[in-house]
């Protein structure tokens, strides 16, 4: 039996709220660190409803960490396609290999060891350590910042470097040693369902002791200063097609979308018309060119990509030499390559590309 006398009222109410409100999610039915890790990395960048199909798909293709470690990175990218943040997929692969090579396929069991692995930050390490190994270490993410700052009326700017330490200490003081996993699951679920950005205070069991509710500050807490303004970039794409093949390349530079495939691309300092947009590939203008529907603004975490796209159909009889690091690829093979969401959107938005490439 839980010794409720020893619990802070916050923890007691939260642990009582959880069983009555928790959603049934597949990663909650397991203590397998691999499955928990996979779910946490997926959920870092997507909501539960969108993440679920990816979770099932990735687990089907890579049922164990050994499968993932042995797999080709391209296969992971292909199955990751649509989730974005490919650096996370890359780290997933790196960590799988490391765990197999260094730890014989078994995840390290402590927070301190887990947090050393590529792509596993304090939040994910705490989630794995508590859910799989019952370590009493709190998860601290946006949900936790929000709930604790409201409940305790904390005015610390959560973007400030000192905030994590402060909120981790508070969460650590609240976490019941014997129920670390449940407490962590509960606080995350509470942040999603109850104390969400628009909180449901009227039905909240913590309302009587919540400082933000008592002082009418639920809309102003947590305090979050604005980060750096995102950088605008302007990408011009040229879908150069001949028969059933297309000119493409893999992005190698230290930039976004490393390891993913895209069409001929020229970046400009602003959106511009065709002659300027095509830049060094001007020779292609000798062939029929049609402007395509462009997906418009594409948002990444720190960048806004504005794009335009043109279809250039090269007649069969033209022997076009390769240029730059672009190569001809059969449409069928290109279909199997990992691509940025922006490229997928260009293909989806243009029926003509569907007919030519899919
Ligand atoms: S009363 Fe409102 S602000 Fe306070 S913890 Fe509950 S949902 Fe969050």
Residue 199 lies in a domain: yes
* Residues paired with 267 in a beta bridge: 235
> 97 is written with which tokens?
């290999």
Residue 131 lies in a domain: yes
Residue whose CB lies within 8 A of the most ligand 1 atoms, among 195, 196, 214, for a mutation test: 195
> 244 is written with which tokens?
């059933």
Q: What percentage of residues in the chain have a pLDDT greater than 70?
A: 97
Contact by Cβ (8 Å): 76, 89: yes
Contact by Cβ (8 Å): 61, 75: yes
Question: Which atom of ligand 1 lies closest to the CA of 150?
Answer: 3
Q: Residues 263-297: pLDDT tens digits?
A: 999 999 998 999 899 998 888 898 999 999 887 78
Task: Name the residue range of residue 24's domain.
Answer: 4-214
Residue of the nearest CA to atom 1 in ligand 1?
207
Residue whose CB lies within 8 A of the most ligand 1 atoms, among 148, 150, 205, 211, for a mutation test: 150
Residue 19 lies in a domain: yes
Same domain flag for 180 and 237: no
Residue 100 lies in a domain: yes
* Residues paired with 298 in a beta bridge: 305
Distances (CA, A) of 36 to 70, 89, 105, 125, 153: 20, 15, 15, 10, 32
Same domain flag for 146 and 292: no
Q: How far apart are CA 247 and CA 33, in angstroms?
A: 41
Ligand 1 center to 150 CA (angstroms):
7
Residue 224 lies in a domain: no
> 30 is written with which tokens?
């397991």
What's the predicted TM-score (pTM) here?
0.74
| pLDDT confidence of residue 1 | 41
Q: How far apart are CA 237 and CA 175, in angstroms?
A: 52
Ligand 1 center to 142 CA (angstroms):
15
Residue 21 lies in a domain: yes
Question: Which atom of ligand 1 lies closest to the CA of 205?
Answer: 6
Contact by Cβ (8 Å): 222, 149: yes
Pocket of ligand 1 (CB under 6 A): 147, 150-151, 194-195, 199-201, 204, 206-207, 210, 212-213, 218
Q: How far apart are CA 249 and CA 235, in angstroms?
A: 15
- The residues near 184 (Cβ < 8 Å, ≥ 6 apart) are 126, 127, 130, 131, 138, 139, 175
Contact by Cβ (8 Å): 41, 119: yes
Residue of the nearest CA to atom 2 in ligand 1?
201
φ/ψ (deg, to 5) at 311: -100, 130
Same domain flag for 235 and 292: yes
Same domain flag for 257 and 152: no
> 103 is written with which tokens?
């730890």
Question: Which atom of ligand 1 lies closest to the CA of 210?
Answer: 4
Out of 181, 214, 247, a domain closes at 214
Chain centroid to Cα 76, Å, comes to 14
Ligand 1 center to 114 CA (angstroms):
32
Residue whose CB lies within 8 A of the most ligand 1 atoms, among 199, 203, 217, for a mutation test: 199
Ligand 1 center to 49 CA (angstroms):
24
Low-confidence ranges of the chain (pLDDT < 50): 1-2, 4
Residue 219 lies in a domain: no
User: At which residue do the structure tokens 């020893």 appear?
Assistant: 6
Chain centroid to Cα 165, Å, comes to 24
Same domain flag for 241 and 130: no
CATH code for position 280: 3.90.79.10
Ligand 1 center to 208 CA (angstroms):
9
15, 16, 20, 23 alpha-carbon torsion, rounded to 10°: -10
Q: Residues 211-245: pLDDT tens digits?
A: 999 999 999 999 998 877 889 999 999 999 998 89
Same domain flag for 203 and 326: no
> 280 is written with which tokens?
């060094």
| pLDDT confidence of residue 84 | 77
Same domain flag for 204 and 297: no
173, 18, 112, 135 alpha-carbon torsion, rounded to 10°: 80
Same domain flag for 85 and 139: yes
Domain total in the chain:
2
Q: How far apart are CA 358 and CA 246, in angstroms?
A: 11
CATH code for position 157: 1.10.340.30
Catalytic annotation, pick one of 24, 40, 112, 135:
40
Closest residue by Cα to residue 292 from 210, 352, 205, 222: 352
Write down how long the chain is.
Answer: 358
Same domain flag for 240 and 204: no
Same domain flag for 266 and 200: no
What secondary structure letter does DSSP report for 8?
-
Instruction: Let me know the angle formed at the C-alpha of 329 by 328 and 335, rounded to the nearest 5 degrees.
Output: 150
Residue 220 lies in a domain: no
* Annotation marks residue 24 as catalytic: no
| pLDDT confidence of residue 322 | 58
Same domain flag for 314 and 174: no
Same domain flag for 205 and 252: no
Q: How far apart are CA 151 and CA 209, in angstroms?
A: 7
């Amino acid at each position: 039996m839980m010794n409720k006398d020893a619990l802070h009222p916050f923890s007691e109410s939260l642990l009582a709220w959880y069983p009555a409100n928790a959603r049934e999610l597949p990663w909650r039915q397991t203590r397998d660190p691999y499955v928990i890790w996979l779910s946490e990395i997926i959920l870092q960048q997507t909501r539960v409803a969108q993440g679920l199909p990816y979770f099932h798909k990735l687990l089907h293709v890579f049922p164990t960490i050994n499968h993932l470690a042995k797999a080709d990175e391209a296969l992971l990218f292909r199955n990751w396609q649509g989730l974005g943040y490919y650096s996370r997929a890359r780290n997933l692969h790196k960590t799988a290999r490391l765990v197999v090579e260094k730890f014989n396929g078994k995840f390290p069991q402590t927070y301190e060891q887990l947090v050393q692995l590529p792509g596993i930050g304090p939040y994910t390490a705490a989630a794995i350590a508590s859910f799989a190994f019952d370590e009493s270490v709190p998860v601290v993410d946006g949900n936790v910042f929000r709930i604790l700052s409201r409940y305790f009326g904390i005015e610390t700017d959560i973007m400030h470097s000192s905030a994590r330490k402060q909120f981790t200490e508070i969460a650590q003081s609240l976490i019941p040693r014997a129920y670390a996993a449940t407490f962590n699951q509960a606080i995350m679920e509470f942040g999603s369902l109850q104390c969400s950005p628009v909180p449901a205070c009227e039905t909240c069991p913590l309302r009587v002791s919540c400082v933000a509710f008592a002082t009418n500050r639920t809309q102003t807490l947590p305090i979050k200063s604005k980060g750096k303004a995102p950088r605008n970039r302007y990408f011009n794409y040229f879908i150069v097609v001949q028969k059933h093949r297309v000119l493409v390349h893999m992005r190698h530079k230290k930039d976004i979308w490393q390891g993913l495939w895209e069409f001929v691309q020229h970046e400009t300092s602003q959106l511009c018309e065709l002659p300027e947009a095509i830049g060094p590939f001007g020779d292609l203008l000798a062939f029929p060119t049609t402007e395509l529907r462009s997906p418009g603004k594409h948002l990444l975490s720190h960048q806004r990509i504005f794009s335009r796209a043109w279809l250039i159909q090269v007649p069969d009889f033209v022997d076009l030499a390769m240029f730059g690091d672009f190569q001809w690829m059969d449409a069928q093979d290109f279909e199997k390559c990992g691509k940025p969401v922006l490229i997928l959107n260009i293909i989806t938005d243009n029926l003509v590309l569907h007919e030519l490439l899919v």
